[in-house]
């Protein structure tokens, strides 16, 4: 369940065109791995509240998340 939510969260990070969004439905395994621990550590309380809530949580905790997860956010325009 957590991997599914994280995958959806990473998919929602994309600010690319609709065609690109269709082609990439979830984050890469590397992106998922980069942020899984941060989601569990900093966003556990909101993990069942949807993708955008998890994304907002990661952004709110940006100073606390790992450099790798922060780079995933940056790479996806966040």
Q: Where are the domains of the chain?
A: 2-75
The alpha carbon of residue 70 and the mean position of all alpha carbons in its chain are separated, in whole angstroms, by: 10
At 4 the pLDDT is: 57
Question: 């905790």: which residue's tokens?
Answer: 61
Give 32's Cβ-side CA count (13 Å radius). Answer: 13
At 44 the pLDDT is: 95
Q: Which two tokens stand for residue 28?
A: 């890469």
At 50 the pLDDT is: 85
What's the average pLDDT block by block, 10 residues per block, for the chain (78 residues)?
A: 62 43 58 94 94 92 97 94
At 27 the pLDDT is: 76
**Maximum C-alpha span of the chain:** 33
C-alpha 27/C-alpha 67 separation (Å) is: 17
């Amino acid at each position: 369940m957590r991997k599914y939510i994280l995958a959806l969260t990473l998919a929602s990070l994309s600010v690319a065109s609709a065609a690109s969004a269709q082609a990439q439905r979830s984050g890469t395994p590397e992106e998922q791995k980069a942020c899984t621990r941060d989601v569990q550590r900093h966003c556990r309380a909101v993990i069942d509240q949807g993708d955008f809530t998890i994304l907002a949580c990661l952004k709110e905790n940006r100073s606390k998340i790992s450099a790798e997860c922060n780079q995933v956010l940056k790479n996806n325009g966040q």
